[in-house]
Amino acid sequence: MKITLLGTGSPIPHPARAGASTLVTADGLTLLVDSGRGVLMRLTAAGVMPPMLDAVFLTHLHSDHITDLNDVVTTHWIMSPGPRPLRVYGPPGTQEVVNGIMTMLAPDVRYRIDHHDDLTQGPDVQVTEVQAGETFTVGSATVRVAATDHRPVEPTVAFRVEVGGASVVLGGDGVPCAGLDELCAGATAYVQTVLRPEMVQAVPSQRFQDVLDYHSSVEDAARTAARGGVGTLVLTHYIPGLPPGQEDEWRSIAAAHFTGPIVLGDDLTAVEI
Ligand SMILES: [Zn+2]
Ligand SMILES: [Zn+2]
């Protein structure tokens, strides 16, 4: 199994960090988790074209995790040689978001169907809204869903993808919680979005400081990883943006609480587990 951090940014625009998205590939499966800003540029850099996607998982419906889902929908549709559904799994509310995207794309869909003789139908986006505690399969992958705690944003979920003997937990945004602990137990890898509280506190903006209470700190993520006995901790969605050269500092903060390998870095940082 290979985990690639497609976008390691946050809602704040960053010239070198795309928005939240992570690629998981294993046993011929290609799974995209979240679809933040610039996702298709990074997906292409990782060697994946949209028609190759077997499924898209959404951890929650915050804009920084879905802002380029419309690009995935359009490009998956237009680049597929024939009708091919795009399967999207996300929390309740996902269908509403996809319906809105389809409304937004309606003129474009008309233009393309009118223009291309071999294109007779619009995008076939098949949404499955998932609940905490559910398990579903995508090809050879078994996917478990748990609730996360990103309140007041609700509902939000994490996914545990198991293929063969490997498993990865995609924690999304949120603070440590029972659902996350349950998914992380014994996982091969755990991907968590993180912030540095003292850096956020230093910014004199109440709106920015509001994010402190619903994200895991680097320490929180490391402690969750340690409690679950996970193999590798992967950090992403850096708030504030991880400056070049500070990777070791961020890693050492996590290493105080978690003794396994800690992966973080630029967009397209990848780890095989
Ligand atoms: Zn969020
Ligand atoms: Zn986020």
Catalytic residue set: 64
- What does the mean pLDDT of the chain come to? 97
Which ligand ends up closest to the CA of 60?
1
Q: What's the average model confidence in pLDDT over 160-180? A: 97
Give the C-alpha separation, 93 to 130, whole Å.
10
Instruction: Locate 58 and state its tokens.
Output: 């959404």
**Local confidence band at 5 (pLDDT 50, 70, 90 cut-offs):** very high
Q: Is the pLDDT of residue 134 over 90?
A: yes
**What does the pLDDT read at residue 208?**
87
Which CATH number applies to 2-272: 3.40.50.150, 3.60.15.10, 3.30.70.260, 3.40.50.720? 3.60.15.10
Rounded distance from Cα 62 to ligand 2 centre (Å)? 6
For residue 12, give Cα distances in angstroms to 150, 195, 214, 238.
18, 13, 16, 10
Give the C-alpha separation, 62 to 264, whole Å.
22
Q: In this predicted model, what pLDDT tens digit does every residue of 27-55 receive, in sequence order?
A: 999 999 999 999 999 999 999 999 999 99
176 near 150, Cβ under 8 Å?
Answer: no
Which ligand ends up closest to the CA of 62?
1
Rounded distance from Cα 263 to ligand 1 centre (Å)? 21
Q: What phi and psi values does residue 203 have, to the nearest 5 degrees?
A: -95, 120
Q: What's the average model confidence in pLDDT over 111-116? A: 96
Rounded distance from Cα 19 to ligand 2 centre (Å)? 8
| Domain layout of the chain by residue ranges | 2-272
Q: In this predicted model, what pLDDT tens digit does every residue of 234-272 receive, in sequence order?
A: 999 999 999 989 999 999 999 999 999 999 999 999 999
